Amino acid sequence: MIDITMPALSPTMETGTLSKWLVAVGDTVKSGDVLAEIETDKATMEVESIDEGVVAELLVEAGTEGVPVGQVIMRLSGDGEVAAKPAPAAATVAVEVPKAAVPVAVAPVPAPVTVAASKDGRINASPLARRIAQVQGVELSAVTGSGPNGRIVRADVEAAAGKPVVAAAAPVAAVPAPMAAPAAPAAPFTSDIPHVVEKLGNVRKVIARRLTEAKQTIPHIYLTVDVQLDALLKLRGELNAALEPRKIKLSVNDMVIKALALALRQVPKCNVSFAGDSLVSYSRADISVAVAAPSGLITPIIVGADAKPLSVIATEMKALADKARDGKLQPHEYQGGTASLSNLGMFGIKQFEAVINPPQAMILAVGTGEKRPYVVNDALAIATVMSITGSFDHRAIDGADGAALMQAVKTLIENPLGLVA
């Protein structure tokens, strides 16, 4: 029998909702077949099989919420095998644990075993491990797997890439540490006004928790500047005319992403993260861009935006935004980032202050471009102007450094040839 467990599909995922089974008992599955849809703390994602066999048992009903990472959710039987009884609740399984997971009392981690290849010679690795290996440039054939049947999992790839990982087995019975008495449950909502109560999904719960933590624990400072857009709009029109045969169309947002990325490289004191008693400084500008998806806000990442041409940024941003709205983003496409950008200009919002996305230390809020009276060449004129506001983590970034970054963004937008030089 081959146990299929609830995978860890994001760094913050501790439990998931098994939204839908896409196989039934008796179905034959092969590596790469989609088994189920899992609602994570970020999106609804498809889970692929990395093994071959016949579905023997579905141990979790569709629609079940709060399924812990690592719990066995189904079993496959191999050639000549028959369905077995479910393993005891305390059985030890190997799971992929996100880097940000909090350590818990666990059983010993199984020793790594030799990587097993499938019948067709394909390396036995989870889909997430394959994606991370591709991004990190890790050769899977040189990695030793620690998962079931020698499967290569996320922790194995990150260890091979030289990154710190947290690996653990499923929790077993242990003497709990003393805990404070649980808070009294909130009283159920009541109102005599006609209304509908909708249960929060995992994504909205995570958004609520993270934004609350960000505002409660991060001392935000806000810096706003007005930026003249006319030169950028003129250059955008010229570039779009040149890119039309390639069916690429630049947006103002694409150009602001590039401006923020270049500014972060010019002012490296703002391309940082606060980490308790240390400060992490990044040598690459990865820009997380806020996208409104049906399940809630998500921030796909333009990796290395400082070094990418505008045409590449535009192409990647369109593809990522489409995947975000369809709930198809993969973890490596929204995990990480060194700074964020949120643009509400398309809604006519003139100016706003965005909440920092930890562990990042800044986010740029972009308002609408509009015709305003503006001093141009020492004379009052009508110009296209937009307001941009930077939110900075004052623990990591001093006000003067934040001001220097905002000035750098302004200069790049108002002198946009610097975006293509």
> Which residue has 């990647």 as its token pair?
316
At residue 48, the pLDDT reads 84
Instruction: Let me know if residue 358 belongs to a domain.
Output: yes
Q: Are 344 and 354 in contact (CB under 8 A)?
A: no
Mean pLDDT of the chain: 83
At residue 130, the pLDDT reads 76
Q: Are 77 and 54 in contact (CB under 8 A)?
A: yes
* Statement to judge: residues 320 and 402 lie in one domain: yes
Candidate from 17-21, 149-153, 302-306 with smallest mean pLDDT: 149-153
Whether 154 has a pLDDT exceeding 80, the answer reads no
3-state secondary structure the chain: CEEEECCCCCCCCCEEEEEEECCCCCCEECCCCEEEEEECCCCEEEEECCCCEEEEEECCCCCEEEEECCCEEEEEECCCCCCCCCCCCCCCCEECCCCCCCCCCECCCCCCCCCCECCCCCECECHHHHHHHHHHCCCHHHCCCCCHHHCECHHHHHHHCCCCCCCEECECCCCCCCCCCCCCCCCCCCCCCCCCCCCCCHHHHHHHHHHHHHHHHCCEEEEEEEEECHHHHHHHHHHHHHHHHHCCCCCHHHHHHHHHHHHHHHCHHHCEEEECCEEEECCCCCEEECEEECCEEECCEECCHHHCCHHHHHHHHHHHHHHHHCCCCCHHHCCCCCEEEEECHHHCCCCCCCCCCCCECEEEEECCCEEEEEEECCEEEEEEEEEEEEEEECCCCCHHHHHHHHHHHHHHHHCHHHHCC
| Residues spanned by the domain of 64 | 2-169
Region 337-350: what's the mean pLDDT?
A: 96
Interval 301-311: pLDDT, tens: 999 999 999 99
* Statement to judge: residues 102 and 248 lie in one domain: no
Give the span between the Cα atoms of 387 and 226, in whole angstroms.
Answer: 4
- Between residues 58 and 129, which one has the greater pLDDT? 58
Region 233-259: what's the mean pLDDT?
A: 97
Q: Which of 151, 169, 187 is the last residue of a domain?
A: 169
Q: Are 149 and 124 in contact (CB under 8 A)?
A: yes
Q: What is the pTM of this model?
A: 0.63
* Statement to judge: residues 11 and 117 lie in one domain: yes
As a whole-number percent, the residues of the chain with pLDDT over 90 amount to 49
Structure tokens at 351: 């100016």
Interval 187-219: pLDDT, tens: 677 888 999 988 887 778 878 888 899 999 999
At residue 337, the pLDDT reads 95
At residue 149, the pLDDT reads 64
* Statement to judge: residues 251 and 162 lie in one domain: no
At residue 140, the pLDDT reads 82
Q: Which residues contact 351 (CB under 8 A, 6 or more apart)?
A: 224, 365, 367, 387, 389
Interval 350-391: pLDDT, tens: 999 999 999 999 999 999 999 999 999 899 999 999 999 999
As a whole-number percent, the residues of the chain with pLDDT over 70 amount to 80
Instruction: Let me know if residue 195 belongs to a domain.
Output: no
Region 5-28: what's the mean pLDDT?
A: 85
- Between residues 160 and 342, which one has the greater pLDDT? 342
Q: CATH number of the domain that 128 lies in?
A: 2.40.50.100
Region 393-400: what's the mean pLDDT?
A: 97
Candidate from 13-17, 120-124, 309-313 with smallest mean pLDDT: 120-124
* Statement to judge: residues 159 and 266 lie in one domain: no
At residue 194, the pLDDT reads 94
Q: CATH number of the domain that 315 lies in?
A: 3.30.559.10
At residue 181, the pLDDT reads 52
At residue 184, the pLDDT reads 56
Instruction: Let me know if residue 194 belongs to a domain.
Output: no
At residue 88, the pLDDT reads 42
At residue 304, the pLDDT reads 97
Q: Are 99 and 176 in contact (CB under 8 A)?
A: no
Q: Which band of pLDDT confidence, cut at 50, 70 and 90, is reported for residue 146? A: confident
At residue 274, the pLDDT reads 95
**Catalytic residue, candidates 195, 220, 332, 394:** 394
Instruction: Let me know if residue 283 belongs to a domain.
Output: yes
* Statement to judge: residues 129 and 244 lie in one domain: no
Q: Which of 169, 202, 226 is the last residue of a domain?
A: 169
Instruction: Let me know if residue 182 belongs to a domain.
Output: no
At residue 244, the pLDDT reads 96
* Statement to judge: residues 27 and 164 lie in one domain: yes
At residue 381, the pLDDT reads 95
Look up 394 and say whether it is catalytic: yes
Region 40-54: what's the mean pLDDT?
A: 79
* Statement to judge: residues 156 and 303 lie in one domain: no
Instruction: Let me know if residue 273 belongs to a domain.
Output: yes
Ranked by mean pLDDT, the top range of 6-15, 122-131, 166-175, 388-397 is 388-397
- 290-324 residues labelled b (16+ CB within 10 A) or e (exposed): bbebebbbbbbbbbebbebebbbbbbbbeebbebb
Interval 68-94: pLDDT, tens: 988 999 998 865 555 444 444 333 333
Instruction: Let me know if residue 271 belongs to a domain.
Output: yes
Structural domains counted in the chain: 2
Instruction: Let me know if residue 174 belongs to a domain.
Output: no
At residue 99, the pLDDT reads 39
At residue 34, the pLDDT reads 87
Region 276-294: what's the mean pLDDT?
A: 94
At residue 135, the pLDDT reads 67
* Statement to judge: residues 72 and 155 lie in one domain: yes
At residue 188, the pLDDT reads 74
Q: Which of 169, 188, 208 is the last residue of a domain?
A: 169
* Statement to judge: residues 261 and 371 lie in one domain: yes
Region 266-280: what's the mean pLDDT?
A: 96
* Statement to judge: residues 85 and 10 lie in one domain: yes
